[in-house]
A and B are shown apart, each in its own frame.
Chain A
């Protein structure tokens, strides 16, 4: 059974600080990993993907992947109130282009 685990939160972070979101996965066959942001009542929006060990940066967002520890994280620097949302971690498998989602972490940025 392929699983992706996330802490459901809520995670509360002061405005301007770094928010750190974490995710673990059970299947070493996972080849790519994704972070989606979902605002209440809206559809998930892809914000980052990573497939190599190490860090990948895009603006205020950094995704980190450690395949040996089966661990994925998302850092959000200079957190803004607009970053308040649920963040979904997902792991991808090349067969049938399927991805497995975690249940999401709710992030709240407090002014």
Chain B
């Protein structure tokens, strides 16, 4: 599992509440990613980070923000959760060979917004 943990693993919340998901890695990789996975859509990139305090948007970034204050932690925040953000969220890291870009995934967080 490339030393990646995600917390919480499951969360149920209500519309309009803020939610923060945490991704933690133990191997000092520079690149970290947040994806969401929904039936019929595969994995879609929300945000990614290429270093401490260096982040950028992915294809489905609306309604999400991220922060990376330490190399090992990448936080995803839903400022005001909506039912459309019910999904499985995966964190991933890239192991540094930029031309090949292999990514390895954490165990995922299942989020339900009621």
Contact = CB atoms under 8 A, between A and B. Distances in A.
Interface in B34-55: 40-45, 48, 50
A60 interface: no
Contacts of A32: 99-101
Given A32-B100, A96-B48, A96-B50, A43 B105 contact: yes
B42 A88 contact: yes
Nearest to B90: A43
Interface in B9-28: none
B26 to A, nearest CB: 16
Contacts of B45: 98
Given A88-B43, A103-B40, A103-B41, A94 B103 contact: no
Nearest to B110: A41
A45 B106 CA distance: 10
A46 B58 CA distance: 21
12 contacts: A31-B99, A42-B108, A43-B1, A43-B106, A45-B105, A49-B102, A51-B100, A97-B94, A97-B101, A98-B45, A101-B42, A104-B42
Interface of A: 8, 31-32, 34, 42-46, 49, 51, 88, 90, 92-94, 96-99, 101-104
Give the top 5 A-B pairs by smallest Cβ distance, nearest first: A92-B101, A103-B42, A43-B105, A101-B43, A97-B94
Interface of B: 1, 31, 33, 40-45, 48, 50, 56, 58, 90, 94, 98-108
